């Protein structure tokens, strides 16, 4: 199989598997006071320090979670509740139109259960939020804004947002900014302190680590109301017994991915550009979505190095996906969390695409196990796959007219 869905999840590094396996043989609850508990606590705190050092944070700012979805929910709901408790007038939440559903659905939950006014920040045709857009939204009623959430890099089209500038604008109005950096950490130059953000989401399985392990980086002075209550672990904002082996695996993956990021980013960008060129040579009317990747944002590339997102006119994305899967090529129509849901990409619609274009798109995403052979595998079959998908679409259309 040719695996080109690293944006959904990427294989664990061998070193991570070894670290987790060794830790699984040891017993001890990190909250217990006896020797076994203290050993686990030491392993957790050393892992916390390793994560913090790699991402430019203080150890006390690393709140360990089960991954991106929990961290996003904790940030959006927890920051809102804390801000609203301090100032009852703050019932506006600003999020971008291209966020992952972990953000969008959290915000919608606040609409339905807390009567929050959620405002969606528009993006340009590349899928990027401009600082001027955020400033205009904040200026309309700044005293009512509780928080802003804008993702660091989009999981579907790979466009990178100017997070430092956005954080600076939010702080001009005294509003905290959260960023979902799940796709960014481990490949882009992410520095929590330098970015100026107040909260940042990362997860292990996107960067060579385990499933079910992640973190919310939370500024030391940032108030946050917990979603979970119990033992008071993790600064009393995230109760629950810590999965020590997974925490060790997370720290190992974060260190390895960030240390190798410059080399890997260059290699992945080469594979990305090679694939785009070969697909367009075979299917000339295919369209690359998102930023072209030739610019610089916050000291890094303007597009995720391993992301290729293409629209194929006259095709259904699901048909293309299954036809490619039959050829041994595994890719995606977008976010893995919405796979199988018959609806066009909300990201492409927000970027101005029509529904047909949004439905006829595929995401190929490279990672640390990808090679030029993966590019060649796609190039060898993409022409015939698109032809079959188009014929199928035409037949379905004709049948519908009858």
Task: Say if residue 352 is in the same domain as residue 377.
Answer: yes
- Residues 73 and 116 both lie in one domain: yes
Tell which of 226, 258, 290 closes a domain.
258
Q: Does 331 qualify as catalytic in the annotation?
A: no
Select from 239, 185, 209 the least CA-distant residue to 70.
Answer: 239
Q: Which of 215, 231, 258 is the last residue of a domain?
A: 258
Q: What is the pLDDT of residues 109-145, one digit of tens each?
A: 999 999 999 999 999 999 999 999 999 999 999 999 9
- Whether 88 shows a pLDDT value over 80: the answer reads yes
Note whether 249 and 287 are same-domain residues. no
**Catalytic annotation, pick one of 337, 349, 356, 379:** 337
Q: What distance in Å separates the CA atoms of residue 301 and residue 259, rounded to the nearest whole number? A: 17
Do 203 and 63 lie in a common domain?
yes
Distance CA 366, CA 18 (A): 23
Domain boundary among 223, 241, 258: 258
Is 54 in the same domain as 182?
A: yes
Residue 239 has pLDDT above 60, yes or no: yes
Query: Do 272 and 250 lie in a common domain?
Result: no
Residues 6+ apart with CB under 8 A from 357: 287, 311, 313, 348
Is residue 88 located within the same domain as residue 175?
yes
Q: What is the CATH number of the domain that holds 158?
A: 3.40.640.10
Number of domains in the chain: 2
Write the DSSP symbol of residue 338.
G
Angle between helices 261-282 and 244-259 (to 10 degrees): 70
Instruction: Say yes or no: 246 and 130 in one domain.
Output: yes
Distance, CA of 100 to CA of 181 (rounded, Å): 11
Domain of residue 96 covers 14-258
Give the model confidence (pLDDT) of 38-57 as tens digits: 999 999 999 999 999 999 99
Q: What is the CATH number of the domain that holds 306?
A: 3.90.1150.10
Do 181 and 57 lie in one domain? The reply is yes
Distance CA 331, CA 229 (A): 39
Q: What is the pLDDT of residue 199?
A: 98
Judgement on whether residues 27 and 155 belong to the same structural domain of the protein: yes
Backbone angles phi, psi at 106, to 5 degrees: -65, -45
Q: Is residue 212 located within the same domain as residue 344?
A: no
60 with 118, same domain: the answer is: yes
Among residues 43, 376, 72, the alpha carbon closest in space to that of 217 is found at: 72
- On whether the CB atoms of residues 308 and 272 are closer than 8 A, the answer is yes
Q: Is residue 158 within 8 Å of residue 188, measured between CB atoms?
A: no
Distance of CA 402 to the CA centre of its chain: 43
Give the three-state DSSP class for 55.
helix
Tell me the average pLDDT across 343-357. Answer: 94
Mean pLDDT across the stretch 97-114? Answer: 98
């Amino acid at each position: 199989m040719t695996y080109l869905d690293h944006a959904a999840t990427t294989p664990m590094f061998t070193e991570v598997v070894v670290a987790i396996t060794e830790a699984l043989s040891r017993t001890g609850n990190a909250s217990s006071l006896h020797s076994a508990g203290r050993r686990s606590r030491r392993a957790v705190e050393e892992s916390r320090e390793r994560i913090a050092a790699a991402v430019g944070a203080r150890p006390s700012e690393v709140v360990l979670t089960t991954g991106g979805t929990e961290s996003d929910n904790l940030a959006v709901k927890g920051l809102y509740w804390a801000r609203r408790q301090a100032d009852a007038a703050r019932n506006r939440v600003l999020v971008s139109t291209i966020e992952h559903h972990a953000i969008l659905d959290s915000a919608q939950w606040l609409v339905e259960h807390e009567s929050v006014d959620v405002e969606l920040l528009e993006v340009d045709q590349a899928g990027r939020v401009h600082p001027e857009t955020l400033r205009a939204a904040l200026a309309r009623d700044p005293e009512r804004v509780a928080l802003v959430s804008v993702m660091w890099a989009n999981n579907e089209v790979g466009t990178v947002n100017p997070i430092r500038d956005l954080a600076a604008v939010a702080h001009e109005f005294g509003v905290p900014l959260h960023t979902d950096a799940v796709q960014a950490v481990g490949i882009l130059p992410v520095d929590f302190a330098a970015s100026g953000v107040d909260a940042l989401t990362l997860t292990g399985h996107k960067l060579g680590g385990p499933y079910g392990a992640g973190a919310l980086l939370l500024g030391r002075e940032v108030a946050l109301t917990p979603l979970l209550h119990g033992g008071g672990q993790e600064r009393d904002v995230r109760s629950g017994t810590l999965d020590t082996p997974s925490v060790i695996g997370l720290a190992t993956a974060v260190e390895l991915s960030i240390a190798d990021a410059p080399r890997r980013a260059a290699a992945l960008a080469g594979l990305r550009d090679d694939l785009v060129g070969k697909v367009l040579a075979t299917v000339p009317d295919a369209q690359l979505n998102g930023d072209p990747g030739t610019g610089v944002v916050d000291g890094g590339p303007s597009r995720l190095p391993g992301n290729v997102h293409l629209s194929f006119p006259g095709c259904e994305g699901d048909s293309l996906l299954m036809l490619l899967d039959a050829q041994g090529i595994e890719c995606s129509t977008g976010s893995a969390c919405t796979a199988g849901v018959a609806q066009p990409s909300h990201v492409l619609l927000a970027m101005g695409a029509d529904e047909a274009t949004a439905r006829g798109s595929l995401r190929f995403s490279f990672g640390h196990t990808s090679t030029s052979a993966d590019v060649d595998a796609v190039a060898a079959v993409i022409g015939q796959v698109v032809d079959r998908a188009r014929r199928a679409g035409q037949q379905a259309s004709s049948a519908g007219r009858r």
